[in-house]
Structure 1
Amino acid sequence: MTSAPPPDSAFLARLRAVAREQAAPLRRVSCAVDADPALLPGLLDGALPWRQFAGLPAAYNPDPLRVDGRAVHLRWCAEQVVVWEELARADAGIALGLPGPAMSGHVMAELGDPQQLERYYGRLADGPVWTFFGMTEPAHGSDPAAMATTLTPADGGGLLLNGTKRFVGNGARSATGVLFARRHRGPLGVVAVLLESDRPGFTGVPLDTIGLRGLELSELRMRDVPVAEEDVLGRHRSATRQGMWAAVRTFNRYRPVVSCLALGVAQAAHDYVTGHRGDAHSAAAPRFAEFAAQLAGVRAMVLAAARSADHDPADGTLASAAKIRATRLAEDITTAAVRAFGPGARWEHPLLDKWARDARAFEFMEGTSNIQRLTLAQGYLHGRI
């Protein structure tokens, strides 16, 4: 991802402190955005930081995050999991709802040619621009073998895109992004396309969700959307290094981020309980002391998974292990946090209610735990663990 040396533990500790301070404004608008996700874009003008966390390349970001005077562009997964845990500790839904490249940026880094990269990042550099990553489908999930979205030749030249993608983060508010479609049969038939949302036949519709509402999960519908050959990503690469190859590497790099998001929500709920029920003699004290040790252990696992992804994005073994543990811990802690306050807790403590709803979303992001266990089994059989 970068020629610079990977960040050491001392630098990551300083980065965490800076990120925690920068993330504070997210908590102040947490409940408001949860009630109405449409408020989020209007809060970006000076109220919420976004360029510092967007992960834009240096050439397109004049105002990056800085630690000890050093610009941090979050190109390392190890940096991302530290920063995004602190963002999620403030508010995971808003963090995921901030503009920037997100998952589509990983695909662009793998497959984009110079003209496509300029077209993509040049637009993002102009202001707060959201992007989409369109993979999951209503009837087939993320199974590439069953993908029904098609990219077919159009009469008179060019290509036409048809299909539906669902559970796409920021989809309805996005201006550009990456979408996967089947160009022909076979395992190498799936390609990635760089697409703007203002093309005829393209529609984004927000979905009604109960958790991570700031992310505004959406459905994308394509009906004879015109696509040119120069929109197809990875044309300069071999067929084995195009669509699904880039998607797998993206998932492997993003799963540690999902893990740290779950960890951030878990830490927020833990902080809340220990802050309001901090008496060592309280009934919740022993359980939450145990949770503190588990949080530290899972945090170390997530960082190890991030470093593994930086070293080899093709190996998702540790990323899968981290996601299983982090998502389970988030559900356990948020459930225990509500119980620590007794009947009526979710009405009397809106943040606890929100964290309990948000925590359930991570199980379904980038593969459920059963899918992660299959990846772990493959890693074991291949001697990776």
Structure 2
Amino acid sequence: MARLRDRTASWAGELRAGALGLDRDPEAIRDRLEEPAVRFLAELGGDGPVTPGRDTLERVVVAEELARGDAGALLASPGPSMSGVLLAVLGSPEQRDWFYGRLGERPTWTCFALTEPERGSAIGEMSSVLTPDGDGGYVLHGTKRYVGNASRAGVAAVFARVAGTERLGVTAVLVDTADPGYRARPLPMLGLRGAQFSSVSLDGVRVPADRVLGTHLSPARRGMWSIVQVFNRLRPSVAAIALGIARAAHEYVGEQRGTLRGAERERYEELGRRIDAARLLTYRAADAVDARPSAGHLGSAAKARAAVLAEDVTRSALGFFGPGARLDHPLLDKLARDARGVEFMEGAGNIQKLTLFHGLQAGKVGRP
């Protein structure tokens, strides 16, 4: 694990050097495909460098170190990302071979389309519909929103409800975005611009039978169960992204302000202690999920705490430089905007607190 941390940490400087350029032009990521960090992310998963049984913890280590360089580049890079985690939960060996085969041909972006306009991620209100085509496949209609990399993705994992069913009819499918009916448009964003969060229109997209995920599982495990499993694995990584942003802002103050004294020194050191404490919680959350994938309560706690921490640290960092800090220090301005964006990844703070409350109520958190 230390070798993985050292390896990814060595790329942070290169990512940071291109951070403001990518923030201005998200398409600039296409000119950076040969950078070591971007290549690494494009190959992650499949036969890549993650270790079975330690997947979540390794993703946490990678996410923190690369987000310390630039969270925008981390999220903008091609690779399996969330869809790869979904394939690990729901995919058959043949589907994983098809998915990673596509990614192995050339750098390929993927996206995970769950959230809908005005409905969020509420499965019971999902309006995207899969209509059976009579050959075991479906025709997909619907709209999605706030989908990272959707406008540049080659493969999309999309959740929709099978026509005529309710909650147990929600199913994930793999969509080749070159197929007719798939359209994606980038949305204007303040933070995490590199990821090009997009709206997606699905107008009669044909989904062959072999791209319907989870058919080897019961219907109860294709919808909400699978989404929870994916989020359990990913929330510690989102917490790590927040930690990386907080560290970048904290280190920037140390590098640019030189010697701090008195109250400023105390405030700076307190922020450092909070970062260290949040890292311990995030590592514990990752270990818990690697040991038992259903143990996502600590992941929710880590994500909620780290998201607040990232905002606190970036705002405090701006305060070290006075009223004109956002204009005089554009990198800090970007970090503050990115920190705010993390709050809405994989569920906002109120959702994380509700999940943690359910864990406490059920006795799943706090046991010796």
Q: Could you tell me the TM-score, scaled by structure 1's length?
A: 0.90
Aligned to 2:55: 76
Alignment of 1:310-329 (within 5 A): 310-329=290-309
Summarize the alignment of residues 228-243 of structure 1 with structure 2, pairs less than 5 Å apart: 228-243=208-223
Deviations 1:98-122 (A, max 9, x none): 1101011111111111221111000
Which of 155, 160, 181 lines up with 2:160 in the alignment? 181
Which of 36, 39, 44 is equivalent to 2:28? 39
Deviates more, 1:196-205 or 1:151-160: 151-160
Partner of 2:186: 206
Distance 1:253 1:75, change over 3 A: same
* Aligned equivalent of 1:150: 129
SS in 2 for 1:172: coil
Distance (Å, rounded) in 1 between the aligned partners of 2:211 and 2:293: 25
Could you tell me which residue of structure 2 aligns to residue 270 of structure 1? 250
**1:27 pairs with 16, 25, 31, which one?**
16
TM-score by length of 2: 0.94
76, 84, 93: which one pairs with 1:105?
84
Unaligned runs of 5+ in 2: none
Q: CA deviation at 1:278?
A: 3.2
1:53 matches 2:32: no
Aligned residue identity for 2:74? A
Give RMSD over aligned pairs: 1.8
Question: Could you tell me whether the CA contact under 8 Å between 1:134 and 1:178 is conserved in 2?
Answer: yes
Deviation of 1:53 (Å): 2.9
1:356 equivalent in alignment to 2:336: yes
Paired residue secondary structure (2:188) = coil
Mark the CA change 1:346 to 1:73 in structure 2 (over 3 Å): closer, same or farther.
farther
Contact 1:177–1:195 (CA<8 Å) still a contact in 2?
yes
Q: Which 10-residue stretch deviates more, 233-242 or 318-327?
A: 233-242
The more displaced of 203-212 and 224-233 is 224-233
Q: Report how many aligned residue pairs link the two structures.
A: 364
The 8 Å contact of residues 252 and 319 in structure 1, kept in 2 or not, is answered as: yes
Query: 1:93-132 counterparts in 2 under 5 A?
Result: 93-132=72-111
**CA displacement, residues 153-189 of structure 1 (integer Å, 9 cap, x when unaligned):** 2488842101111000101000002100001422211
Q: Which moved more, 1:180-189 or 1:203-212?
A: 180-189
- Tell me the amino acid that sits aligned with residue 78 of structure 2: P
Deviation at 1:282, TM superposition (A): 5.9
Structure 2 letter corresponding to 1:343: P
1:177 to 1:88, Cα distance in 2 relative to 1, 3 A: same
Letter in 2 for 1:201: G
| Residue 28 of structure 1, CA deviation | 1.2
Are residue 163 (structure 1) and residue 142 (structure 2) matched? yes
1:163–1:157 CA distance, 2 compared to 1 (3 A):
same
User: Which stretch shifts more, 137-146 or 179-188?
Assistant: 179-188
Q: In the TM superposition, what is the alpha-carbon distance from 1:213 to its structure 2 partner?
A: 0.6
Residue 339 of structure 1 deviates from its aligned partner by 1.1
| Alpha-carbon contact 2:145-2:200 (below 8 Å) kept | yes
Q: Answer with 91-100 or 231-240: which moved more.
A: 231-240
Q: Secondary structure at the match of 2:71?
A: helix
Note closer, same or farther for the CA distance 1:75–1:208 as it changes in structure 2 (3 Å cut).
farther
Closer, same or farther: CA 247–349 of 1 in aligned 2, 3 Å: same
Kindly state the Cα deviation for residue 325 of structure 1 after the two structures are TM-superposed.
0.7
Q: What is the identity, as a one-letter code, of the residue corresponding to 2:198? A: S
Secondary structure (helix, strand or coil) at the match of 1:194 reads: strand
Kept after mapping to 2: 8 A contact 1:163/1:223: yes
Distance 1:136 1:109, change over 3 A: same
> 1:58·1:73 contact (CA, 8 Å) conserved in 2?
no
Identify unmatched segments of 5+ residues in structure 1: 1-11, 65-70
Q: CA separation in 1, counterparts of 2:323 and 2:91?
A: 53
CA contact (8 A) 1:191 1:244 kept: no
- Aligned partner of 2:325: which letter? A
2:115–2:145 contact (8 Å) kept in structure 1: yes
Deviations 1:328-356 (A, max 9, x none): 11000100111110021111111010001
Aligned counterparts, 1:8-27, within 5 A: 12-27=1-16
Partner Cα separation in structure 1 for residue 42 and residue 31 of structure 2: 17
TM-fit CA distance, 1:23: 3.2
Partner letter of residue 13 of structure 1? A
Instruction: Give me the whole-angstrom Cα distance separating, in 1, the residues matched to 2:51 and 2:331.
Output: 31
Q: State the identity %.
A: 46
- Identify if the C-alpha distance between structure 1 residues 112 and 157 changes in structure 2 by more than 3 Å, giving closer, same or farther: closer
- Whether the aligned pair in 2 keeps the contact of 1:74 and 1:80 (CA below 8 Å) is no
Match of 1:341 in 2: 321
The question of whether the paired residues in 2 share the 8 Å contact of 1:305 and 1:318 is answered with yes
**2: CA distance, partners of 1:156 / 1:280:** 69
SS in 2 for 1:133: strand
Is the CA contact 2:135–2:209 (under 8 Å) kept in the aligned structure 1?
A: no
Residue from 287, 297, 315 that aligns with 1:307: 287
Q: Which residue of 2 aligns with 1:252?
A: 232
Q: State the match for 1:3 in structure 2.
A: none
CA separation in 1, counterparts of 2:53 and 2:39?
A: 11
Q: Is 1:31–1:351's contact at 8 Å kept on the other side of the alignment?
A: yes
In the TM superposition, residue 24 of structure 1 has moved relative to its aligned partner by 2.7
Alpha carbons 1:77, 1:310 under 8 Å: kept: yes
Contact 1:55–1:74 under 8 Å retained in 2: no
Give SS of 2:199's match.
Answer: strand
Corresponding letter in the other structure for 1:259: A
Q: Distance in 2 between matches of 1:291 and 1:156?
A: 58
